[in-house]
């Protein structure tokens, strides 16, 4: 029997950071989409934040670009076990988009062009933990990776980072999204290895 010490998860990324349990490091950028890539021109793109009372706050492409931008460098962890370290993005913090939204909601259901959805607690979108990004590695975000814009929530498994994001619905109750309804974990913390329901 091979001797493997507890907590050994294979190679460590070069900068000495740990990998979450069960993950391996990859250097390419796999594409994982549940359906075809929707074509969303910047000219017709719109992002809506919809409060629980139905009030909509919307941004078109020009309005998005006028907001203060951040350049997060983050690690990505996909439930299919690849992790990609030190990815560089450019986009708007959800703190900025939610600043003027009056809400008593505890949950968010994120909607994408093409019909994909994913849910998470609203607090996981706040306090510098999530962005709407439109630029990856110094280039406009490619359509297969979610361009024109995607949600980026790097502290949760990557299925929560909805590509082609269209709306963030704020809710008083928690409504499971696409993968969450199909048996994935409702929360999806990679450090707790919350891959599937019951983990
Ligand atoms: N709209 C949409 N967003 C999505 C998905 C999808 O199928 N549709 N797949 C999710 C999953 S499971 C993963 S792992 C990541 C993959 O992002 P990537 O293709 O840029 O690597 O996007 C997430 N966001
Ligand atoms: Mo995924």
Question: Is residue 123, in this structure, part of any structural domain at all?
Answer: yes
| Ligand with an atom nearest the CA of residue 87 | 1
Q: Which atom of ligand 1 is nearest to the CA of 78?
A: 14
Question: Is residue 71, in this structure, part of any structural domain at all?
Answer: yes
Q: Which atom of ligand 1 is nearest to the CA of 79?
A: 14
- The whole-angstrom separation of Cα 141 and Cα 134 is 5
Domain range for 117 is 41-192
User: What element of type H or E holds 86?
Assistant: strand 82-93
Ligand 1 neighbours by CB, cut-off 6 Å: 29-34, 78, 112, 114, 116, 145-146, 158-159, 161-164
Residue 186 Cα to ligand 2 midpoint, Å, equals 14
Question: Is residue 198, in this structure, part of any structural domain at all?
Answer: no
Q: Which of 112, 154, 150, 145 is CA-nearest to residue 134? A: 150
Report the CATH number that the domain containing residue 76 is assigned in CATH. Answer: 3.90.420.10
Question: Is residue 111, in this structure, part of any structural domain at all?
Answer: yes
Tokens of 132: 């709407």
Tokens of 98: 């939610």
* pLDDT of the residue at 2: 47
* pLDDT of the residue at 17: 83
Residue 79 Cα to ligand 2 midpoint, Å, equals 5
- The whole-angstrom separation of Cα 126 and Cα 94 is 6
Question: Is residue 33, in this structure, part of any structural domain at all?
Answer: no
Question: Is residue 139, in this structure, part of any structural domain at all?
Answer: yes
Place of tokens 């968010």: 108
* pLDDT of the residue at 12: 61
Residue 74 Cα to ligand 1 midpoint, Å, equals 16
Q: Which atom of ligand 1 is nearest to the CA of 112?
A: 1
Question: Is residue 102, in this structure, part of any structural domain at all?
Answer: yes
Question: Is residue 21, in this structure, part of any structural domain at all?
Answer: no
Q: Which of 60, 20, 68, 69 is CA-nearest to residue 42? A: 60
CB-based contact 156:188 (threshold 8 Å): yes
Residue 162 Cα to ligand 1 midpoint, Å, equals 6
Per-residue tens of pLDDT for the chain, all 199 residues:
444 444 444 556 667 789 999 999 999 999 999 999 999 999 999 999 999 999 999 999 999 999 999 999 999 999 999 999 999 999 999 999 999 999 999 999 999 999 999 999 999 999 999 999 999 999 999 999 999 999 999 999 999 999 999 999 999 999 999 999 999 999 999 999 999 999 9
Q: Which of 181, 193, 188, 32 is CA-nearest to residue 120? A: 188
* pLDDT of the residue at 11: 54
State the total domains in the chain: 1
The SS3 of residue 14 is coil
Q: Which atom of ligand 1 is nearest to the CA of 163?
A: 3
In the beta sheet, which residues pair with residue 72? none
Please identify every residue whose CB atom is under 5 Å from ligand 2, which is an ion: 32, 78-79, 159
């Amino acid at each position: 029997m091979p001797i493997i010490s507890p907590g050994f998860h294979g190679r460590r990324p070069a900068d000495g950071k740990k990998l979450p349990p069960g993950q391996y490091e990859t250097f390419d950028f796999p594409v994982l989409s549940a359906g075809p890539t929707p074509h969303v021109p910047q000219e017709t793109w719109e992002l809506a934040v919809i409060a629980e009372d139905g009030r909509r706050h919307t941004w078109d492409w020009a309005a998005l670009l006028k907001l203060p931008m951040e350049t997060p460098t983050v690690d990505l962890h996909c439930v299919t076990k690849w992790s990609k370290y030190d990815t560089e993005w450019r986009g708007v913090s959800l703190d900025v988009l939610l600043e003027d939204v009056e809400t008593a909601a505890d949950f968010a259901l994120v909607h994408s062009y093409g019909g994909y959805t994913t849910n998470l607690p609203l607090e996981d979108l706040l306090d510098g933990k999530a962005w709407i990004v439109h630029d990856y590695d110094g280039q406009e975000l490619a359509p297969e990776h979610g361009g024109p814009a995607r949600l980026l929530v790097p502290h949760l498994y990557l299925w929560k980072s909805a590509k082609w994001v269209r709306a963030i619905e704020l809710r008083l109750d928690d409504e499971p999204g696409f993968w969450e309804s199909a048996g994935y974990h409702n929360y999806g913390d990679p450090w707790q290895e919350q891959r599937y329901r019951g983990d």
